[in-house]
Amino acid sequence: MTTILHPGQLAATGEAPALRLPAPDLFARRARRLRQLAVGHSMEGYLKFAAALAEAQQQQLACLATLPLPDQDFLQHCRAHQMPPLAPAGWQRDPVWRTVAVQLAAALDAIAPAPARAALAHSRAAPVEWLEAQADALLAEDRATLDLACAPLIGAALQVCWTQLATALDSAWIAPASTPALCPVCGAPPVASVVGGAGDADSGLRYLHCALCGSEWHAVRAQCTQCNNDKGIVYFAVEASQQPIQAEACPECGSYLKICRRDQQLDMEPLADDLASLALDLLMGGEKFARSGVNYLLLQGE
């Protein structure tokens, strides 16, 4: 018999937390997984480029000056009202993210393919107003006005800053999100979900992995993360794929979110494995399901 724990029960077990803040080596782990997935992959060139970007993100995270956190009054207010304290709409981003973007572009210029080099050069030369408007569009998922070629760099720089902020928080300050589909730390959507591996404290439990700050929060399995429906949930996979990754699809709202099965392969990393499973997205599009996860490294237009 399988027992599914709900968020309110997790703290009482003393084993698996309802919220996991990002690890300091988040981007290094991501880079290793991307390089592993790149071998023999049809997207090998892009996955290696994404790995180099993740390595540059780790370097920027390591040398980034400490960013100011919300004060205690603000944190208490957010907790009392179940609001994510680092939500972009309520927490002004530090302009240092633009410096991070320039540094990332410089680190990637020598290895980027020609189209990517053009986007990197454009981002480095762009005026402040354009960069800030693009960051606003990315965070608001306004793809109609977003420069899709520059989005991976902008998203990567924002990830570095929000990850640093999230690692400095105490999980006790964060209330469960009023909207379970969004990160309780920063309010961003997940990139994918992950099921804990055998022998770990979170074995068999599912966590959603934030696309922006890298935090993870518990979500009940076999239940739609968008509309909470638990009837008729369907799972899809690409038959020829070597990745233990599935798409959990909801017939009620027509959305799907990928699940990385660490219980089958321990070194899976949600953003990396999501990026390397584009074939699964194509399959789901053919089945008329809409993607609910967001990956800043592979955004498509409306």
The pLDDT value recorded for residue 302 is 53
The pLDDT value recorded for residue 10 is 38
Identify which of 166, 86, 149, 163 has the alpha carbon closest to the alpha carbon of residue 114.
149
pLDDT of 13 above 50: no
pLDDT of 38 above 80: yes
pLDDT of 14 above 50: no
> pLDDT confidence of 1, banded at 50, 70, 90?
very low
**Contact partners, residue 107, CB within 8 Å, separation at least 6:** 52, 56, 59
Pull the structure tokens for residue 197: 């591996």
Q: What is the mean pLDDT of residues 95-120?
A: 93
% of the chain exceeding 70 in pLDDT: 93
Give the angle 234-235-240 at the CA atoms, nearest 5°: 145
For 45-101, write each residue's pLDDT tens digit.
Answer: 999 999 999 999 999 999 999 999 999 999 999 999 999 999 998 888 999 999 999
pLDDT of 170 above 70: yes
Q: Where in the chain is the domain with CATH 3.90.1670.10?
A: 19-172, 183-291
For 177-191, write each residue's pLDDT tens digit.
Answer: 888 899 999 999 999
For 228-285, write each residue's pLDDT tens digit.
Answer: 999 999 999 998 787 899 999 999 999 999 999 998 999 999 999 999 999 999 999 9
Give the Cα separation of 253 and 264 in Å (integer). 28
Q: What is the 3-state secondary structure (H, E, C) of the chain?
A: CCCCCCHHHHHHHCCCCCEECCCCCHHHHHHHHHHHHHCCCCCHHHHHHHHHHHHHHHHHHHHCCCCCCCCHHHHHHHHHCCCCCCCCCCCCCCCHHHHHHHHHHHHHCCCCCHHHHHHHHHHHHCCHHHHHHHHHHHHCCCCCCCCCCCHHHHHHHHHHHHHHHHHHCCHHHCCCCCCCCCCCCCCCCEEEEEEECCCCCCECCEEEEECCCCCEEEECCCCCCCCCCCCCCEEECCCCCCCCEEEEECCCCCEEEEEEECCCCCCCCHHHHHHCCHHHHHHHHHCCCEECCCCCCCCCCC
The pLDDT value recorded for residue 28 is 98
Query: Assign residue 297 a region: left if phi > 0, alpha if psi is -120 to 50, beta otherwise?
Result: alpha
% of the chain exceeding 90 in pLDDT: 81
Identify which of 266, 265, 192, 271 has the alpha carbon closest to the alpha carbon of residue 225.
192
> pLDDT confidence of 105, banded at 50, 70, 90?
very high
Q: What is the pTM of this model?
A: 0.92
Amino acid identity, position 121: A
Q: What is the mean pLDDT of residues 214-241?
A: 94
Topology of the domain covering 19-172: FdhE-like fold (3.90.1670)
The pLDDT value recorded for residue 200 is 65
Among 93-107, 151-165, 200-214, 258-272, the least confident range: 200-214
Topology of the domain covering 183-291: FdhE-like fold (3.90.1670)
> pLDDT confidence of 12, banded at 50, 70, 90?
very low
Q: What is the mean pLDDT of residues 125-142?
A: 96
Q: What is the mean pLDDT of residues 24-52?
A: 97
Q: What is the mean pLDDT of residues 195-222?
A: 88
What's the mean pLDDT when you consider all of the chain? 91
Q: Note whether 18 and 184 are within 8 A (CB).
A: no
pLDDT of 5 above 60: no
